[in-house]
Amino acid sequence: MLADSASALIGGDQHSGSWRQKLEVVERVIAREGRQDLDTLAHSAIYLSWIGSGAVTCVEDGGHHRPCRHAELARSIFSAVENKQVGGASPEELLAIRRLHPWLPSFTEEFTASVPLTRIRDIAHRSDLPHDLKQEIKHTIQNKLHRNAGPEDLVATEIMLKRITGHGKQRNGEHGEYPPDFVSEFKKFHRELKDFFNASSLEERLERVRNNGTGDTAIMVDNFLSAKANLGTSPPIDQLNATLSSATALRRHLCDGLRHPLGQGENDGSIADRQQRRLAELELEKYAFVLLSQLESHMAVPGQLVSGSMMWVGAMRAAHNAIIHLSLSQWEVNECNAVSKDLEELLAEAEQGRLQLGPGQDGALRLMAMLERTRRLSEGYSEALLGLFAQRAGEGFARALGVPDHTARVFCESEIRASVVFQLSKLCTAMLKATRAATGASAWDAIVSGSAEGTLVEVDRIVPGALPSGAASDQGLILLVRRADGDEEVTAAGEGVRGVILCQELPHLSHLGVRARQESVAFATCEDSDTLVGLKSMVGQRIRLDASAAGVQQPPASRAPAAALPASSHAPVSAASSRPRQEASPPASSNCNGRKASTVPISERALGSGVDLTKADTVVPLDVVEQTQGGAKSSSCGVLLRLAAEAADQNPAAAFKAPRGVCFPYGTMEHAVQAEGRTAEFNSLLERVEASQVAGGELEAACKDLQAFVSQLRPSSDVIFAAAKMLPPGARLIARSSANVEDLEGLSGAGLYDSIPNVRIEEPAEFGQAVADVWASLYTRRAVLSRRQAGVAEGTAVMSVLVQELLAPDISFVLHTAHPLSRDPDLLVAELAVGLGETLASGARGSPWRLSVNKRTGAVETLALANLSEAMVVDESAAATGDLVKVPIDYSKQPLSTSPMARATLGRCLSGLGLGGSVVGEGGCSGWVEQ
């Protein structure tokens, strides 16, 4: 079903044959009715584009309106969208507005005059022209233009210009049978008409801006035009980059003058000048695309950067300019600025010959991290354009306007391929390939080691119902997943999933990574476009996936079962860590006690050797809480608190801090139910969840009802008062889940249950709600399904709430006490990120800092540098509302990115904490530590 905005444009178009009438349709919707929502702006941009290109035909309407009417309509539309553009439009709305501007006619003074474009009248009445030519000009151009102007008039004028300047008798600059003065006047008219339709060349546009601008504007326009004129006079890469830098500087200058909204009562002349400046900056962006395309052709052979240090400098300078252009288009401005600063640092080192790009060298790691972040930025822009135009330009809208299906289908693709981002993406791809070739790094990253065979199936996300109908799950499936948010469970997609290839980077110890490891599913990520194209060509075939830390291998795939695809369709696919090690990897299907984690029901012993409810409706200090009272998480945090105190006394050099806290132990929620006299109601809801089927939404509805019930409960005021006396006054706190069904061997529950950050106990209403929300998270649909798979009855699951000081760390980390891929017990692996650790646990796209520390020797190896775009932090200026904020990360100011010594020092500190021996579970299993 078409959106209201599309229907309004279609309805208006049906009664509007001429260009003027079609402009009136857009002006009525956007300006007079004030409809400037995303749908309206996007559909209007598409509509005007199709009109301007001739895909939507304009015909005379029988009326008589001079071009001044068109100019007035354009001024009204421009004023409305320009104020929207500088007054808080969303990024997607900005994309639409920027594609609307070029299709509006000019409304400078000469075109708003009551009788504009009079030169053509004088030409048609010249006495030195043949009568038939005068009549042709009068009827096909003059009268038509002054009666019913449209883009077709510019086409007719260009045909006539070609005819009178390209006559066969023309010799040596003479004009054959046409008088030179006539040809000169007609050329002037052609330029005036191009000005009216805003079809002027970049040089012509800038000349107008120069004449109407300040002295600084004139100087910058002259500098750019001089650089443009000198192209081809010196080495092409240097000249192209110099011209690109000049275009960037001029566009930045023009954009700086367009940041304020139009003022009340602003005169028509200043609004017209503003339109010319806006169109100039848009055309400079288009010209940057041309320069980047030429640069890319000089610096890269298909998909690969040409070797040589100057090529690196040229490519980095080009990419830096492209990122600035993206920022000037107001796309992800903070992210663009952060990436730009990082690239500036690298470019300065490259220009001085200090950027080392060999295997294991710091420069290569920094450059790869920056390029991967830049590629994400460009992919986000492309995805936004697809989301903005692909469906809206679809066949329903197009057919209603008489636009051919092919034109509708290629609209969005043409917008992407004509953007600066398209060239930036090509540059990044070439530079990444060159960097990997120089360092020997792999495009793959193994998350969970193991081997798997199955039919390759492409899905958008790992969610229930993602598998296509007919997928032969009994013969094994390997998922090619386009994106993830980090909270998924592999088995949620369906039965038979043996391996996962994710088309984005992911922290190894994210919730999804931990769950995949527990579910014994081979898991790798890959963002290399060429590799992914090859993989997508194998969808439907049986492949083999080897994910390991030992290196890239390509073993032959075994023959498929008789009922599967023929053996000739098998294809091996291998994945390895980008920094391979030589240790052998045990089978991924076993956990530390050799049993398959995904098939072993969780026993009462695994659930914490019983549950102690005797502390219900009390509060327990964190340093004395026992696992039976508050769960593995609470008791482990208590251990850390005690270890911190011991370290400060015994070894100050290895001292660390742990947040203080309390525990609302098991049974506190059940006590709140009893206090309200609603035990029977609670039990009934719990039994309904236990009995509900997944199909038909039955389970989801039951879970929502039980969550709604629990979220209304509150701990008693006496308990909250007691907790307040144990916690630091005024402290910002976090309420964390600590259930008997998480942080256990075979049942991590990673990310299944909620934490509520940024609350204060001095605000008892908000604090009590936070505790209740944590309790309620025990009964989300996802948590219930996870427990069902593990064989845990709902009646055995209980939740305590761990309340701790909310830290505002510079860096958070997750440790694995043994190498998660090779299982080497001597290697501690750390993943670190700026800000709070929620970034690491989530599926945020990108890589954290990844360090491997030898616990015996203290040697630290950098496996990856961080390229995550945002950090989650506490907004200390705001009220304690349970919210966090995201801020962009500037890695040029992060010592862990710029200093190998800082990484080595921190790595040794993490190893020296002695955490490896403190968090080992029963039976000697390794574990992970979050801080």
Active-site annotation, residues: 511
> Where does 429-562 show beta strands of DSSP type E?
444-448, 450-459, 477-481, 497-502, 522-526, 542-548
Instruction: Decide: 732 and 805 in contact? Cβ < 8 Å.
Output: yes
Which amino acid, 164? I
The enclosing H or E element of 801 equals: strand 799-805
DSSP 8-state assignment for residue 560: P
Instruction: Decide: 845 and 505 in contact? Cβ < 8 Å.
Output: yes
Please, what is the angle between helix 19-27 and helix 38-53, to 10°? 170
**469: which residues sit within 8 A by CB, 6+ positions away?**
none
**131: which residues sit within 8 A by CB, 6+ positions away?**
none
CA gap 106, 116 in Å, rounded: 12
- Torsion sign (Cα): 427, 429, 434, 435: positive
**208: which residues sit within 8 A by CB, 6+ positions away?**
195, 200, 276
Q: Which two tokens stand for residue 510?
A: 């994210």
Instruction: Decide: 446 and 578 in contact? Cβ < 8 Å.
Output: no
**231: which residues sit within 8 A by CB, 6+ positions away?**
239, 240, 243
- Whole-angstrom CA distances from 799 to 116, 192, 669, 736, 755 are 78, 76, 8, 10, 12
Instruction: Decide: 205 and 285 in contact? Cβ < 8 Å.
Output: no
Instruction: Decide: 835 and 669 in contact? Cβ < 8 Å.
Output: no
Which amino acid, 651? N
DSSP 8-state assignment for residue 104: S
Q: Order of strands, edge to edge, in the sheet holding 860-864?
A: 860-864, 849-854, 827-834, 811-816, 928-930
DSSP 8-state assignment for residue 65: B
CA-based max dimension of the chain: 111
Q: Is 763 exposed, middle or buried (0-12, 13-18, 19+ CB in 10 A)?
A: middle
DSSP 8-state assignment for residue 105: P
Instruction: Decide: 26 and 44 in contact? Cβ < 8 Å.
Output: yes
The enclosing H or E element of 80 equals: helix 67-86
CA gap 201, 228 in Å, rounded: 13
- Whole-angstrom CA distances from 751 to 79, 165, 665, 755 are 48, 73, 20, 9
Nearest to 455 by CA among 546, 378, 545: 545
CA gap 366, 905 in Å, rounded: 18
* Phi, psi (deg, nearest 5) at residue 175: -115, 30
Nearest to 799 by CA among 904, 673, 887: 673
Report the 10 Å Cβ neighbour count for 901: 9
Polymer length in residues for the chain:
931
Q: Which two tokens stand for residue 762?
A: 């001095």
Instruction: Decide: 656 and 911 in contact? Cβ < 8 Å.
Output: no
> DSSP of 252-272, one letter per residue?
HHHHHTT-SPPPTT--HHHHH
Q: Is residue 203 classed as helix, strand or coil in its secondary structure? A: helix
CA gap 713, 707 in Å, rounded: 10
